Amino acid sequence: MIPVSRPLFLSLLIFILLLIGLASLSSAVIALTIPILLYLFYGFWRGPDGIKLEIQRELSAERAVPYTPVTVKVTIINRGGDLEELKVEDVLSPSLAITNGSNRHLISLAKDGKFAFEYTVCGPRGSYPMETLQVEAMDHFGIVRAFQRVRTYGQLLVFPLVTKLKYVSIHPRRTRVYAGAIPARVVGAGVEFFGVRDYQPGDPPRRINWHVSARRVEELYSNEFQQERVADVGIVLDGRERANSFSGGRSLFEHSVLAAAALSDALLRQGNRVGLLVYGHYLQWTLPGYGKLQRERILQALAHATPGPSQIFEGLEYLPVRAFPLESQIVLISQVMEDDYGPLIQLRARGYQVLVVSPDSVAFEENLLPRQTEVQLAARVVRMERQLLIAHLKRAGIQVIEWNVSKPLDQAVGQALRFRRPIGNRL
């Protein structure tokens, strides 16, 4: 960076030469200033008066999945005077990679002239505001310069990839009144077997439980089924840095985000009311809701989600449980630290049904480290500690599904999510 402006420096040189010429009464020295004077004169003459630009930006898609090419088209119309040189840069996030074209151009733009350029970007999950276009106008010699940041509208949201899970079996104590897919522990129309009662006139014959009825000669018995309803589900994504960061700057967080996206998608498709809480740097809460709109909201929240350090939210004790309806289902996506045991037990004690989807941090870190005897021994010890913690959680009625992130989510835990029996509840 050079602190002195070019015209000022050249003017200074001219005046010094003039002074030398005057002091020595040398016309040759004064004549030396002529080329520089001409140079400066041209710059001031052709320099920009100001920048009046009309800028439009169009994106081929405002929502994309990671590393999908998105074409950005920028159109610039000059509403001011002629601009001999116009340096244009569409400011992008460093995470975005340009795969085709360029976001920077140096052009000449006449009055009412139009210039359009296109480039293609792709990037990882995230939210990428495209709101600034930097322009710098100058004469051909770069003597007079005018700089401006033009505000434009545009945002690229790169959603996490949503893995389709066929069905997620949850068993909260309390359900909502609307029909859904979750057994509600109440007799009614449904397909899940609930119990047997005496036959009552009007019961359809196919409901008669012939096995039980065969044991009694004069009495008939009918099957009862559970009502199936929708439920409140709170998905908690653990964004604590200490729970996600590993050696070499690797993070489990992206895997956790994938799991959160897949689970919220599946649970919303089942008709449930789903909310999302990202617990990390701060609390990012997406209010519960139904349907496609809620899916969009959750995906947007997941696009923004980043892990971060926080002294307050270092442990799970500050989990805002009041945000979740009583006795609803909580799905925690976390690798579970040792000191998380207490807060999770408290959740359970308050009547929440807790399901923990836990990316296997030990396997993840082991894969990053060299295969040495010491490493394997250490991994074994840590794995045992983890297994012990998970066993304690299971004993307390918390459902834990471990996920080795080297396998795709649906393959690794799809089966476990589909067929789970309720723990610690009596029908």
Partner 1 sequence: MTLFALLFSIVFGIGSLAFGYLLTGFAPFARWIAFFGVLWLIAVWQRWRWFAYLGIAFNLFAAAFGLWLLNFPPGWMFAGAIGGLLAFDLTDFWNRVRFIDADEERRGFERHHLIRISLLAILGMTLASVAMFIKLQFTFEWAIVLIVIVVLGLTQLIVWFRQIGK
What number of H helices and E strands is found in the chain? Answer: 11, 20
Binder of partner 1 out of 52, 105, 173, 281 (CB under 8 A): 105
Q: Under the criterion CB under 8 A, does residue 44 sit at the interface with partner 1? A: yes
| Closest alpha carbon to 403 in 393, 411, 394, 413 | 413
User: Per the structure block, which two tokens stand in for 361?
Assistant: 């941090």
Instruction: Output 15 or 318, the one with its CB closest to partner 1.
Output: 15
Inter-residue contact 255 to 402 (CB < 8 Å): no
CB of 141 to partner 1, least distance (A): 6
Q: Under the criterion CB under 8 A, does residue 116 sit at the interface with partner 1? A: no
Q: Under the criterion CB under 8 A, does residue 4 sit at the interface with partner 1? A: yes
Inter-residue contact 369 to 375 (CB < 8 Å): yes
Per CB under 8 A, which region of 104-112, 179-187, 246-254, 417-425 contacts partner 1? 104-112
Binder of partner 1 out of 106, 186, 377, 388 (CB under 8 A): 106
Helix, strand or coil, per DSSP, at residue 189: coil
Helix, strand or coil, per DSSP, at residue 214: helix
Cα–Cα distance, 320 to 346 (Å, whole number): 12
Whose tokens are 């293609």? That residue is: 120
Length of the chain counted residue by residue: 427
Q: Under the criterion CB under 8 A, does residue 17 sit at the interface with partner 1? A: yes
CB of 87 to partner 1, least distance (A): 6
Binding positions for partner 1, 208-267, rule CB under 8 A = none
Instruction: Output 38 or 368, the one with its CB closest to partner 1.
Output: 38
Whose tokens are 């080795």? That residue is: 404
Torsions phi, psi for 79 (to 5 deg): -95, 0
Q: Under the criterion CB under 8 A, does residue 191 sit at the interface with partner 1? A: no
Binder of partner 1 out of 102, 367, 387, 404 (CB under 8 A): 102
CB of 26 to partner 1, least distance (A): 5
Binding positions for partner 1, 124-153, rule CB under 8 A = 140-142
Give the binding-site size for partner 1 (rule: CB under 8 A): 44
Binding positions for partner 1, 283-302, rule CB under 8 A = none
CB of 121 to partner 1, least distance (A): 14
Instruction: Output 38 or 293, the one with its CB closest to partner 1.
Output: 38
- CA-angle at 334, arms to 426 and 414, nearest 5°: 65
Q: What is the DSSP string of 365-423?
A: HHHHS---HHHHHHHHHHHHHHHHHHHHHHHTT-EEEEE-TTS-HHHHHHHHHHS---S
Q: What is the DSSP string of 293-333?
A: HHHHHHHHHHHH---B--SGGGSGGG--GGGSPTT-EEEEE
Q: Under the criterion CB under 8 A, does residue 179 sit at the interface with partner 1? A: no
Instruction: Output 50 or 129, the one with its CB closest to partner 1.
Output: 50
User: Per the structure block, which two tokens stand in for 5?
Assistant: 């402006």
Cα–Cα distance, 333 to 323 (Å, whole number): 17
CB of 124 to partner 1, least distance (A): 23
Per CB under 8 A, which region of 99-107, 122-130, 215-223, 351-359 contacts partner 1? 99-107
Binder of partner 1 out of 57, 63, 73, 87 (CB under 8 A): 87
CB of 40 to partner 1, least distance (A): 8
Amino acid in position 346: Q
Per CB under 8 A, which region of 9-17, 204-212, 285-293, 403-411 contacts partner 1? 9-17
Binder of partner 1 out of 7, 51, 70, 85 (CB under 8 A): 85
Cα–Cα distance, 222 to 238 (Å, whole number): 47
Residues that bind partner 1 (CB under 8 A): 2, 4, 6, 9-10, 13, 17-18, 20-22, 24-32, 34-39, 41-42, 44-45, 49, 81-82, 85, 87, 89, 102, 104-107, 140-142
